[in-house]
Amino acid sequence: MGITLSCFTEADSLLYPTSSGVDISACGDIASIVPDKIAELGTRVQISPNPTSGKLKVTCRAALLPLLTSICDMTGKFLIQTQIWQAHSTIDISSLANGPYIVLVKQEGGLVSYNKIIKQ
């Protein structure tokens, strides 16, 4: 029985589970995905409130539109995907169980935002 890792790569903007024990080489070049890059992505799109009880507000610059928003569980499974066409939008996550989730916001050119949220 190994450790299951959820990996994120900046190039392909995907979360994917791997069973590789303690060997994290399956995640690619971890050093290239630094916190500064992830923090920079988060400034392009704002997700609030966090924690939330059911409705997420998504705010972005109109120049980024349209956006594809995906909400994933901590294993990388996509639970909700929705297209955003307005700079101020709302996503209903009330159907999800309480717990942590990842919100990925993409546009045609790749990943725009990566956020961790808590559903209460």
pLDDT band at residue 106 using 50, 70 and 90 as cut-offs:
very high
- pLDDT value of position 118: 96
Burial of 83 (0-12, 13-18, 19+ CB in 10 A): exposed
Mean pLDDT of 12-16: 46
Distance between CA atoms of 18 and 112, rounded to whole angstroms? 24
Q: Among candidates 47, 65, 63, which has minimal Cα distance to 55?
A: 47
**Taking Cα atoms as reference points, which of 44, 23, 55 lies closest to residue 109?**
44
* Confidence check: pLDDT of 8 > 60: no
Specify the 3-state DSSP secondary structure of 90: strand
pLDDT at 64: 87
Average pLDDT over residues 22-47: 52
Lowest-confidence region among 5-19, 32-46, 72-86, 87-101:
5-19
Q: Whole-angstrom Cα distance, residue 56 to residue 58?
A: 6
pLDDT for the residue numbered 34 = 45
* CB 69, CB 81: distance < 8 Å: yes
Asked whether residue 75 carries a pLDDT value surpassing 70, the answer given is: yes
Report which of residues 87 and 33 the model is more confident about: 87
User: At the topology level of CATH, where does 35-119 sit?
Assistant: Immunoglobulin-like (2.60.40)
Average pLDDT, the chain: 76
Question: The tokens 């956006």 sit on which residue?
Answer: 67
